[in-house]
A and B are shown apart, each in its own frame.
Chain A
Amino acid sequence: MPRQSPVPETVDREFFAAANRGRLVVQYCGRCDRWQYPPTTRCPVCDGAESFLWREVEGRGTVYSFAVVHDTQIASLRADLPYTVVVVSLDECPGVLMLSHLPGAADVAIGQAVRPRFAVTEATGQRVPEWEPLS
């Protein structure tokens, strides 16, 4: 489904570069043993930068919750109403949630297992991670 193209910035360039290669990376602080998303420049807990690194993950997750959007202020999403926005809890990264789009009023449930795939966004061709139900 159509959506806005994210413009990579310093803080998340690695994230979007990995997505263009079909990979999911998440920041991890070795000192705190803590995963971080959204991207930040330093670990928000210990303020460290040296041990705060991008790590590749497989990206399987679980549906934390979701809502079916019937009206949106985002012009590029208006073409495809309704759509479902899922909050995905990443199995390998405790505490990390990512948002994903599914077309229509998707047949999805809280607790359902999901896996990542990479979708191309229209404006710039930037790929982004999205998740789809496993079964």
Chain B
Amino acid sequence: MFQIKNLTKIYDDGTVALRDVSFEVADGEFLVIIGLSGSGKSTLLRCINRLIDPTGGQIIWDGVDISAAEPAQLRQIRRQIGMIFQHFNLVKRSNVLTNVLSGRLGYVNPWSSLLHRFPAEDREMAMAALKRVGIADQAHKRVDELSGGQQQRVGIARALMQQPRMILADEPVASLDPVLAHSILEHLERLNQEEKITVLCSLHYLDLVQRYATRVIGLRDGQIVYRGSREEIRAMTDREFKDIYGEEAVRVSVVPQGREE
């Protein structure tokens, strides 16, 4: 059980990015956060693992207050939360395997890891993770030789190495071709369904939201303006859509896959 209570974030320059945000996420849920760019989606996700320190409010996960965690405890918590980024955030000049292994940093001996030494079982685990996302054959390539879709799979594999109980995905498919978007989200969906990993994911395209979300919250100017279940999002009206995205917004859709429903 994951709870966010009255979360507020005010940046140093005075920008109020989150305003009194509260919601709950049940274990095993695929929660999608929607909203215009600038509405606070990234800020929200980064507050959860404290890449950004919230200004006020609480983040409680299974009774532990993440927002109050001490550095050592925070690292313990972070390693259970995988994170996937819009721009992948991989070390481009390192090879795929090194990037994947870096997902293990929260678990291994900090000193031997500085010399890039990892236990053999971690290496096996990394290969297994790469196999799972279908790019085991790329393990020894440099990341910058891979395509965008392949890079995001490396990102997923890195998150898998954390053996996470929760995955935060900040617009994981926004810089990918629509066709690749489905394949990445299907990977996340499989993790969500097979391993019961809670997923918190921000997405842009409404039809992706309708296809993958089990629950949706909508942000606008740092406030929650929409909450809906899977069924509700599929039946979303234009009015609700415009409440979230503004009056000028038009629905755009991803290239139809021809294999859904």
Are A and B interaction partners?
Answer: no
Residues of B participating in the A interface, judged by any CB pair closer than 8 Å: none
